[in-house]
Amino acid sequence: MKPLILPGSGTKSRATQPTRVSAPATLGDAAEDTGADLLETAWVAEIEQQALLGAAPVEQTYQAALASYVEAKHDQVERLEDRLETMIEQQEARLQQTQASAPGWLSLPGSKRAWQARQAQQQARLQTLHARLEAVREIKEGMGLHSPKIEELATRKMRAENPELAADWKAMREAARRHELLMRKQEQERKQSQARGRPGRSQTLGLADRPA
């Protein structure tokens, strides 16, 4: 029988040569692995914590920029609301003047049709202004999915005009989320480690029943 060549060994050996078996991991090895895992987790937590501390200026800059955009949007909505209210008052006055100048019974049919068309046009204009005013008030007072609508509009505009700041803030929030998840994981591992190190109820009772 030809000798068996083991891949990568570079030596020849008989097929009947006993195979080496690795010794099972001891409790010391398991403890060493657990300690290494804990050190790695703590190291990752430290990195996440440093990232959060470095992201504080980003959060402050983002919130300051957002506050200015929200204030500007509030001012814009207020001005638009005032303007529409003024336009509605003016349109109501025009409509009243038109209604007051209705043609008499002896007027020509063409005059009556022209007056009716003018009145209908002014009424339609008044309805349009009222609809716009309601839309503006809905933006001013309405709620969106997560925040007031006016804040959602301001946030959308601020992020569109400051894409780098928005990207930095998003990355900072993601780092904060990962840090929170890591802290929860560490707390769960700590509780599990304490539970494994604490003797069970049955073991405690058994030790108590042993004769001295």
Residues 130-185 pLDDT 10s: 999 999 999 988 877 778 899 999 999 999 999 999 999 998 888 888 888 888 88
The overall pTM is greater than 0.85? no
Residue 123 DSSP class: H
Give the pair of three-digit tokens for residue 143.
Answer: 């709620």
Q: Helix 163-197 to helix 27-54 angle, to the nearest 10 degrees?
A: 150
| pLDDT computed for residue 155 by the predictor | 93
Span between the terminal Cα atoms of the chain, in Å: 67
